[in-house]
Amino acid sequence: MTVSQTVELEGHIIDSGTMGACFAIVMDMGGEFDVDAFEVGRHKHEETYCRMRVLADSEADLRAILHELNQQGATVADPRDAVLEPAPADQVVPVDFYSTTNHPTFVRVDGEWLAVENAEMDCALVVDRADDDGTPRVHTTVLNAIEAGDLVVTGETGIRVEPPERPREADGSFGFMQGGVSSERPSTSLIEEIADEMRSVRDDDGSVLAVCGPAIVHAGGRNALADLVRAGYVDSLSAGNGFAVHDLERDLYGTSLGVDTESLEHPRSGHKHHIYTISEIVRLGGIPAAVAEGVVEEGVMYECVDNDVSYVLAGSIRDDGPLPDTITDAVEAQDAIREQAREADLVLMLSTLLHAVAVGNCLPSTTKTVCVDINPATVTQLLDRGSAQAVGMVTDIGTFLPMLRDELLEHPN
């Protein structure tokens, strides 16, 4: 028995490769398709429309194909309302729940298409009818926040995904990525465009989130980042316990993990600096107290405290100490990172794979993102995760941050 369903695609689907991807999905999954209508946009601002009938051998096969097409932005023609099922227990979702992408998504409820709040990948969609004005709202919900009785969207019906597209006119470096990651990309011109975007975000009262790894301190980028925080170009910071300890050790002893960051020599007893730094911050009661006491007088964490820049230090099983400021509960840390990510208009991911992935998993695909790392695999992994508005640079963070600082502070307008 053959079953079928008609789907529609609309937008810059040729330029973005969406149409070809959808054709390939149907064939790769054992289905067939017939194109019923195909209207090509003939000018650079015109969109293309395609309607096709998808055929499969069984309802299960058809549902699987439709799910994959949905992720690409295809919608079922003549849609019905989304199917809602109550969560059977806390932290438990219905078997056929819809698992989200990080793209802008809309859900049809009571005949109306509602925008999903807080787009994020790998979440459930919950419909809340409890607003005072009676208007339903749809929001992403992580598994640990699901409560028994929550109305969870299931299946593929009544769901529309709108992946960012590649228009015929690119939007500078932050347009849809035109190619792969390479260390040969023009760093100076990219840094100028990143600086322009940071100025624009600041002028619009937006938020720049810096995601920081310890290599910033090791490689000599610490002072430049501190200057950017002081100048108001960084509004929040996300890092691990290690970054903060290395930054504080650099202030107290001039070392990072016991190595002099200027001479690269190992001073006598330098191996003790890392642990003793943690001990001193614990003794004082945390980083803000250490700043208030005058024990910490410079560096990134100092500037965050002195300039009221919020920070989240998320702990891990590898941490020494940790610092009193470090969140050691993984779920609590995720929630804190998620709040930062939702507020960010621009994210700088600076030489850290683990924290960049953690923050990246919370970002919608439309948030402009810069990923800088000396390891090409780090940059590639972050760009492949789904951010369409992304810039990747394979370079030394100790070179990148001073260049960015100079561009912003020496050419403020």
Interatomic CA distance for residues 158 and 156, integer angstroms: 7
For residue 228, how far is the Cα from the chain centroid? 21
- Section 171-193 average pLDDT: 60
List all residues 6 or more positions away from 68 whose beta carbon is below 8 Å from its beta carbon.
25, 29
* Class of the CATH-defined domain 1-78: alpha beta
Give pLDDT tens digits for 358-411.
Answer: 999 899 988 999 999 988 888 877 776 655 567 888 889 999 999 999 999 988
Termini Cα distance of the chain: 66
User: Would the pTM count as exceeding 0.75?
Assistant: yes
197-244: per-residue pLDDT in tens?
999 999 999 999 999 999 999 899 999 999 999 999 999 999 999 999
Asked whether the predicted pLDDT for residue 11 surpasses 90, the reply is no
Q: Where are the alpha helices (DSSP H) in 114-240?
A: 187-203, 215-218, 222-230
Question: Under CATH, what is the fold of the domain 79-165?
Answer: 2.40.420
* Per-residue pLDDT band at 184 (split at 50, 70, 90): very low
Domain boundaries 172-410, CATH class: alpha beta
Compute how many other C-beta atoms are within 10 angstroms of the C-beta atom of residue 161. 19
At residue 231's C-alpha, the angle toward residues 228 and 236, to 5°, is: 60
Q: What is the pLDDT of residue 177?
A: 41
Cα(49)–Cα(308) distance, rounded to whole angstroms? Answer: 49
pLDDT band at 262 (very low <50, low <70, confident <90, very high): low
All residues at 6 or more sequence positions from 382 whose CB lies less than 8 Å from its CB, including other chains: 349, 356, 357, 360, 369, 371, 390, 392
- Delimiting residues of CATH 2.40.420.10 domain(s) in the chain: 79-165
Q: Which residues pair with 141 in a beta bridge?
A: 124
**Six-digit token string for 247:** 């930054």
The DSSP call for residue 376 is H
Whether the link from the prior residue into 322 is cis, omega within 30° of 0, is yes
CATH 3.40.50.10690 positions along the chain are 172-410
Using CA atoms of 34, 37, 39, 40 in order, give the dihedral in degrees to the nearest 10: 0
